[in-house]
C-alpha cells in the first residue's frame, strides 16, 4: 500500500513529514510512503517579507488541507500549532504522533540570557516571545527577524542581532548546532499552544486510513494539545495571540500552566484530573487578570 503524505516544502516540514512516514512504516511495515510538497499562502507571504503575526490564521495549512480534500494526497502532516481552531469539514486529525521539546531556545554567539548586555538585539517574529521576554528584560531590543532558520542563523553570524529565539522542536528535528544554545525555562517563557507537536489529518470518509494512522496516535499528546488549544479557544484567541500554555501529565492527572499578554502576563496554574475543568479554571483566572470577568 502506498500513501502520499502532503506537507509544506520547508526543510523542517519535510523532516516532520518524513518522521511521520517512519512511524507509520514502523507500525505497518507493508507501507510505502511518498512525500508530496504543497506551497501554502504562508510560504508565499513569508517570501514577500510579511511577518508571521500579520498573516491570516491557517496560512500554513489551508492549501495542504485542500490537496487532501481533493484527493491529491492521502494524509496531511502539520505542525499542530499551525492548525486553526475551527476544524475543516470533512477532515479529521487521526494522530498526534509525538511531541518534541515544547519550549524555546536562545541562540547566541556566546552570552546566555542573563549575560546579554543592555541594548543587545534579540531576533524574534513572535508576539508571544516578544511580549513575555520584554517583561523580563526590558533593557534588551527585540527586533523582527524573517526568513527560514538558516537565514536567521546567518543574520546572527553576520552581527545583525546578538541572539535569536527559536523553537526547541524545530532545532532538534533539524539537527542544528550553534556556539551557544540555551533552553529557556518555562518560568520565563511558556510555549505556544501545541508547540512541538505534530498533527496528521485524513479525510473523514477514509475509515481505513483513520484506523491505520490511529496506530501512531499518542493519547497523552492528544490530550495535552487539546487542553492547550482549548484554552486558546476559551480566550477566543488566534495563532498569533500572546498566549503561553503548557499541559503536562502528572501521575494520573494534569498540570496546566499559562500566561496571557492580555492579562498582564502573570502566570497561573491548576492541577487535577479533569482536562476540561482545568482549562476552564485556568481560562477564568486569565480573564480575571485581564479584567474581563
Element (H, E) at 255: strand 253-260
Q: Is 157 annotated in the active site?
A: no
Residues 90 and 57 in one domain: yes
Domain count, the chain: 3
Element (H, E) at 248: strand 243-250
Q: Is 146 annotated in the active site?
A: yes
Residues 28 and 12 in one domain: yes
How do residues 187-218 score in pLDDT, each as one tens digit? 999 999 999 999 999 999 999 999 999 999 99
Q: Is 222 annotated in the active site?
A: no
Complete DSSP assignment for 87-154: PPTTEEEEE---B---SEEEEESS--TTTPPTT-EEE---HHHHHHHHHH-TTSEEE---S-HHHHHH
Domain that holds residue 70: 2-97+197-217
Residues 175 and 115 in one domain: yes
Closest by CA position to 170, among listed 197, 193, 137, 144: 197
Catalytic residue, candidates 128, 155, 173, 229: 128
Q: What is the pLDDT along the chain (293 residues), one digit of tens a residue?
A: 999 999 999 999 999 999 999 999 999 999 999 999 998 776 665 654 555 555 556 677 999 999 999 999 999 999 999 999 999 999 999 999 999 999 999 999 888 999 999 999 999 989 999 999 999 999 999 999 987 888 899 999 999 999 999 999 999 999 998 889 999 999 999 999 999 999 999 999 999 999 999 999 999 999 999 999 999 999 986 555 799 999 999 999 999 999 998 867 889 999 999 999 999 999 999 998 865 65
Asked if the structure places residue 251 within a domain, the reply is yes
Q: Is 249 annotated in the active site?
A: no
Residues 179 and 208 in one domain: no
C-alpha cell at 44: 508565499
pLDDT for 95 equals 99
Question: With contact defined as beta carbons under 8 Å apart, do 261 and 240 qualify?
Answer: no
Asked if the structure places residue 226 within a domain, the reply is no
Asked if the structure places residue 191 within a domain, the reply is no
Q: Is 239 annotated in the active site?
A: yes
Asked if the structure places residue 85 within a domain, the reply is yes
Amino acid at each position: 500500500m502506498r500513501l502520499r503524505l502532503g506537507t509544506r516544502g520547508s526543510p523542517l516540514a519535510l523532516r516532520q513529514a518524513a518522521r511521520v512516514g517512519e512511524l507509520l512504516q514502523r507500525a505497518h511495515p507493508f507501507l510505502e510512503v511518498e512525500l508530496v510538497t504543497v506551497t501554502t499562502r504562508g510560504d508565499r507571504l513569508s517570501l514577500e517579507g510579511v511577518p508571521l503575526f500579520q498573516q491570516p490564521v491557517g496560512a500554513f495549512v489551508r492549501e495542504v488541507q485542500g490537496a487532501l480534500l481533493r484527493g491529491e494526497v492521502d494524509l496531511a502532516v502539520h505542525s499542530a500549532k499551525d492548525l486553526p481552531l475551527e476544524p475543516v469539514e470533512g477532515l479529521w486529525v487521526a494522530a498526534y504522533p509525538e511531541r518534541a521539546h515544547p519550549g524555546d531556545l536562545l541562540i547566541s554567539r556566546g552570552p546566555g540570557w542573563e549575560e546579554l548586555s543592555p541594548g543587545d538585539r534579540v531576533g524574534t517574529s513572535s508576539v508571544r516571545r516578544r511580549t513575555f521576554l520584554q517583561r523580563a528584560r526590558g533593557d534588551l531590543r527585540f527586533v523582527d527577524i524573517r526568513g527560514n532558520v538558516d537565514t536567521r542563523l546567518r543574520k546572527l553570524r553576520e552581527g545583525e542581532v546578538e541572539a535569536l529565539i527559536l523553537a526547541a522542536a524545530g532545532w532538534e528535528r533539524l539537527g542544528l548546532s550553534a556556539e551557544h544554545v540555551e533552553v529557556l525555562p518555562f518560568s520565563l517563557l511558556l510555549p505556544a499552544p501545541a508547540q512541538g507537536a505534530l498533527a496528521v489529518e485524513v479525510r473523514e470518509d477514509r475509515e481505513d486510513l483513520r484506523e491505520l494512522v490511529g496506530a501512531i496516535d499518542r493519547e497523552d499528546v492528544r490530550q495535552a494539545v487539546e487542553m492547550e488549544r482549548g484554552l486558546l479557544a476559551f480566550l477566543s484567541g488566534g495563532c498569533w495571540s500572546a498566549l503561553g500554555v503548557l499541559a503536562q501529565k502528572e501521575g494520573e492527572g494534569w498540570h496546566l500552566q499559562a500566561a496571557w499578554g492580555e492579562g498582564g502576563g502573570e502566570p497561573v496554574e491548576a492541577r487535577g484530573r479533569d482536562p476540561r475543568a482545568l482549562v476552564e479554571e485556568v481560562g477564568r483566572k486569565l480573564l480575571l487578570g485581564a479584567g474581563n470577568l
